[in-house]
Amino acid sequence: MIERARELLASGEVNRVLAWEKGENDFDRTPAVFTADNVDSLVYDGLCGPNLSKYLVGEMEKEGKILVFLKPCDSYSYNQLATEHRIDLEKVVPIAVGCRGKIDVEKLRAKGIKGILSVTEDGDKLLVKTLYGDAVVENRKEVLLDKCLACKGKEHVVECEVIGESEDTTEGDKFGIVAKLEAMTPDERFAFWRGELSKCIRCNACRNVCPACSCVKCVFDNPNTGVANKAAADDFEENMFHIIRAFHVAGRCTDCGECSRVCPQHIPLHLLNRKFIKDINEIYGGYQAGAEIGQRHPLENFDKGDCEPSVVHVRGGARK
């Protein structure tokens, strides 16, 4: 990968590369823009969870082309952003990279591995160096990010050069938990969501990382909306922020799972977005945001024969 990046930089086809670099800890991976001078610090391994697509939006103003590496799931966000004209395809050279699922360091910690210094992969094994000695995780599948368990498959949806192999890491039905919540009583659901959403500290990380949340002017930055507060003043606002955010990305959310990954409070935000996806699939027919460039999403579209909103009363859950 680094070689290919170096080649394209040398040939002048691109002047920047968007990829991952080591963060403050040895096992952190942060998105970074490289030039020929520092491209050697580019890394790509099982820890590179972050979705790079959104960072392209900020690069569009600059001169010259940029090379970007896309994992299969990132390629959906890439298409969605292209559909929304947030990225200019003329200015980007995408290269698809293989992905076998990315490691969740939190899950390593949950296994009782403390004081992590570094994580290296050896086939399916993970070697973890810690302050207190070394640890081994036999199967990396045990500690994959939640979003990787709802993987959209190993195919990239952007047509471009591919480097490396991918593996489908999906486990079970990704709508399973949504269906479980739907089956609860309203009181249980209310309690569940109050429990989750009351943890929110309004850090806005979920909004900032989301490729669908790329508006230049966001409602949550407008003090007149009453939901721009850093700290939600009351439980209504906590709920409101999340309902509005989920609604704003409904139909455009590719289910990339970044929101839940970055939430410092571990709120399962993807369950809100996935509810919309499930409803859209069941009421308006299957739809995957970002599957192709130029799709018209279900909320900017309609059918004269659409069902009435009263379906919500009848089905409680969702069904046509």
Partner 1 sequence: MPMKENWTPTIVAFCCNWCSYAGADLAGSSRLSYPANVKIIRIPCSCRLNPMFVLRAFQRGADGVILCGCHPGDCHYTTGNYYARRRMTLLFSMLDYLGIDRRRTRVEWVSAAEGAKFSATMNDFARTIAELGENVRLGDLRCKQE
User: With binding defined as CB under 6 A, does residue 86 bind ligand SF4?
Assistant: no
Which of residues 2 and 219 has its CB atom nearest to partner 1 in the complex?
Answer: 219
User: With binding defined as CB under 6 A, does residue 169 bind ligand SF4?
Assistant: no
87, 256, 280, 318: which one binds ligand SF4 (CB under 6 A): 256
User: With binding defined as CB under 6 A, does residue 264 bind ligand SF4?
Assistant: yes
Give 93-121 as a DSSP string.
EEEEE--S--B-HHHHHHTT--SEEEEEE
Dist. CA 290–CA 73, nearest whole Å: 10
Which of residues 11 and 310 has its CB atom nearest to partner 1 in the complex?
Answer: 310
How many other CB atoms sit within 10 Å of the CB of residue 1? 16
- Given a contact cutoff of 8 angstroms between Cβ atoms, the answer to whether 211 and 258 are in contact is yes
Task: Mark the segment that binds ligand SF4 (CB under 6 A) among 12-20, 41-49, 206-214, 304-312.
Answer: 206-214
Query: Minimum distance between the CB of residue 80 and ligand SF4, rounded to whole angstroms?
Result: 8
DSSP 27: T
Which of residues 239 and 265 has its CB atom nearest to ligand SF4 in the complex?
Answer: 265
Structure tokens at 235: 């439980």
CA torsion through residues 290, 293, 299, 302, sign: negative
How many other CB atoms sit within 10 Å of the CB of residue 64? 11
DSSP 87: S
Q: Which does 39 bind (CB under 5 to 8 A by kind): ligand SF4, partner 1, none?
A: none
Tallying the residues shown for the chain, one arrives at 320
Query: Minimum distance between the CB of residue 285 and partner 1, rounded to whole angstroms?
Result: 12
User: With binding defined as CB under 6 A, does residue 263 bind ligand SF4?
Assistant: yes
Which of residues 137 and 227 has its CB atom nearest to partner 1 in the complex?
Answer: 227
Closest CA to 1 of 76, 99, 74: 99
Which of residues 166 and 273 has its CB atom nearest to partner 1 in the complex?
Answer: 273
Q: Which residues form the interface with ligand SF4 (CB under 6 A)?
A: 200-206, 209-212, 249, 253-259, 262-265, 267, 269-270, 273
